[in-house]
Structure 1
Amino acid sequence: MKAVAIRKFGRPEGLAVIDLPAPAPGAGQVLIAVEAIGVGGVDAVIRSGTLAAYGFEEGHIPGGEVAGTVTAVGDGVDASWIGRRVWAFTGVGGGYAERAIAPVEEVLPLPADLSAADAVTLGSSGVVAHFGLAHARFAPGESVLVRGAAGSIGIMTVQLAARGGAGAVAVTTSSAERGERLRALGATHVLDRAGEGGEDAPAGYDVVIDVVAGPDLPSFFARLNPNGRMVVVGVVGGRPPADFGTAMMSAFRKSMSFATFSADTVAGRDRRAVRIEQFAAASRGELHTVVHEVLPLEQAVLAHRKMDAGEVFGRIVLTP
């Protein structure tokens, strides 16, 4: 089978198409003939080599989110999965391939009218957005700022905050055109990347959901109201400065809170329940997925170039 591996950490050109034997499912696993692969920000972070200290090595096959048809099952897995269209989380990688392995507990059947591309645009980002807001203790009527709202996680956070009764949903983004698209999805105020601008935008926010992190993270503590909560759900902008907590301490009397959030800390049954509900909502047209572009697997380098250049609104999807 064809797959894409990280030949060399660093720039997108370090990705390469390779040939591998098709994998076989082990106990508790299924084999999926892949129709769509979600290209996520974490893939770019892994490709850059930033996470090499966490065990990622050159030769790694990126991709944690696929959709397709189950073609085989391992020991202990009900054979009725064979032939079913599914969404699957493959773990830390292995998704950039024509065939992928996933643990059966991370596999969900797809509604008949939900495309594979829409499934891999929603499956992980929707869960992060849902539980990220919960981690921030978001309540109806509160104001929310979504930093880095043009990616799939940000887009889902905007929609869920609006559906959840937010008093205001502000977004940071890079252009007026993107701002208008985010307004159509539920944003009430559009700010620039620094969090400035926006006609009649709130002076402060009860919740900040940050997909970016990076060197400018500390400046957003100033956007929090007293008792405000910031939750970082992504690091597409890199790590914050080592002394970022100094900005919080300088506003000690505001009783602000800071947290990170990873869906890995959510029980599998809870992630599964939310995904089932969100897939159903998307199939009814109540949640909107945004597929930026569909590219063939062989163009993974181009997909990563577009991500690195900040050209993507929503998610790029690869197809074998």
Structure 2
Amino acid sequence: MRAVVMERFGGPEVLRVREVEDPEPGPGQVLVAVEYAGITFVETQVRAGSGPWGRPPLPRIPGNGVGGRVVAVGSGVDPGLAGATVVSTTGGTGGYAELAVADAREAIALPAGLSLRDAVALLADGRTAVLQHRRARIEPGEWVLVEAAAGGVGSLLVQLATASGAEVIGAARGPDKGELVASLGAAAYVDYSLPGWERTVAETTGGEGVDLVFDGVGGRIGAQGLAALRTGGRAVIYGMASGSWTEPDDRVRVVPGTALGAAEIRAAAQEALGHAVAGRLRPVIGQTYPLARAADAHRAIEARATTGKTLLIP
């Protein structure tokens, strides 16, 4: 099969398509003929050797979320699963390929009324957004700032927060993303490439500051986002796209996270898919790339030249 193989850490150029042996499902596993593979920002950090969980062993095939048809099952797996169309995580590796192995317990049958493309777009970002939204406990009428609001997770958080009755301010880089963020329900858009954007956020609320910040960026942007909070406001810190976590001060109440098991994370993904079927959540798929252009996809993501979710098509 064809797969993207990474033999060293570095820039996007280390992602190269190779012919490799077809994988075989082991006990408790399924083999999926991949139609779509999701890309997350964290995967670009892992490729560069700066991921939040250290450096994984090499060589490796990147990719942790796929969708397609089950073409084989390992021992101990219901044979009836063969032929089913599913979305699944892959355990952190193997997704950028024509065939991918996944734990059968992680495979989620494609819900009726949802395209496979949308389901793959929601698999990782959807569960993240659902879990962070749940963690925030938004009250109707609150002012909520969503960083990276035109991105995969951010675009979903805008929708979930709006559905909870919040007044959402979406923040992203560049003036061209405002229309998209507004279409998702945001009350206002702020370009955080502009100096003093955090003051604009506070002014939008009438000078009081926002009640809640969803911070998936970290670094300078994260710190500026937290500066837009009212005193005693709260922050959900869930990512470090900048390369470093946001360090809050004493005036900010960080909403604590909880350790979740695989079953709870899978349930959050299913909840996101259910929201999409019901029309309550719309994934934004900004761009797709063929497998051979995985390096170009990573370049675009790192350059902040993408909107919504980026997918690979083997």
Tell me the distance in 1 between the aligned counterparts of 2:312 and 2:297. 8
Structure 1 pair 176–223 and aligned structure 2 pair: CA distance change class (3 A): same
RMSD (Å) for aligned C-alpha atoms: 2.1
Q: 2:264 pairs with 253, 262, 270, which one?
A: 270
Q: Quote the Cα distance in structure 1 between the aligned partners of 2:276 and 2:95.
A: 23
The equivalent of 1:155 in structure 2 is 155
State the match for 2:78 in structure 1: 78
Q: Does 2:210 correspond to 1:205?
A: yes
The within-5 A match list for 1:86-105 is: 86-105=86-105
Deviation at 1:53, TM superposition (A): 6.6
Q: Show the counterpart of 1:225.
A: 230
Does 2:254 match 1:258? yes
Alignment partner, residue 195 of structure 1: 198
Normalized against structure 1, the TM-score is what? 0.89
Equivalent in the alignment of 2:139: 139
| Distance in 2 of aligned mates of 1:303 and 1:292 | 11
- Greater shift, 225-234 or 91-100, is seen at 225-234
CA distance in 1, matches of 2:211, 2:60: 40
Distance in 2 (CA, whole Å) between partners of 1:52 and 1:7 is: 19
Identity %: 37
Distance 1:59 1:105 in 2: 26
Distance in 2 between the 1:259 and 1:13 partners?
Answer: 38
1:172 maps to 2:171: yes
Q: C-alpha distance in 1, partners of 2:134/2:232?
A: 16
1:259–1:9 CA distance, 2 compared to 1 (3 A):
farther
Q: What is residue 34 of structure 1 aligned with on the other side?
A: 34
Cα distance in 2 for partners of 1:266, 1:21 equals 34
Contact 1:87 1:120 in 2 (8 A): yes
When residues 52 and 232 of structure 1 are mapped into structure 2, their CA distance, relative to the original with a 3 A threshold, is closer
The more displaced of 30-39 and 219-228 is: 219-228
Could you say what secondary structure the match of 1:169 adopts? strand
Shift of 1:260: 7.2
Q: In the alignment, is the contact (CA less than 8 A) between 1:85 and 1:110 conserved in 2? A: yes
Aligned partners of 1:27 and 1:76 also within 8 Å: yes
Displacement after TM superposition at 1:285 (Å): 3.1
The one-letter amino acid paired with 1:222 is: A
Q: Greater shift after overlay, 296-305 or 194-203?
A: 194-203
Native 8 Å contact 2:202 2:210 kept in 1: no
Partner of 1:106: 106
Q: Is the 8 A contact 2:15 2:295 kept in 1?
A: yes
Structure 2 stretches of 5 or more lacking a match? none
Q: Check conservation: 1:4, 1:300, Cα contact below 8 A.
A: yes
- Contact 1:216/1:240 (<8 A) preserved: no
Per-residue deviation, residues 112-150 of structure 1 (Å, max 9, x unmatched): 432222111111111111111222333333221111111
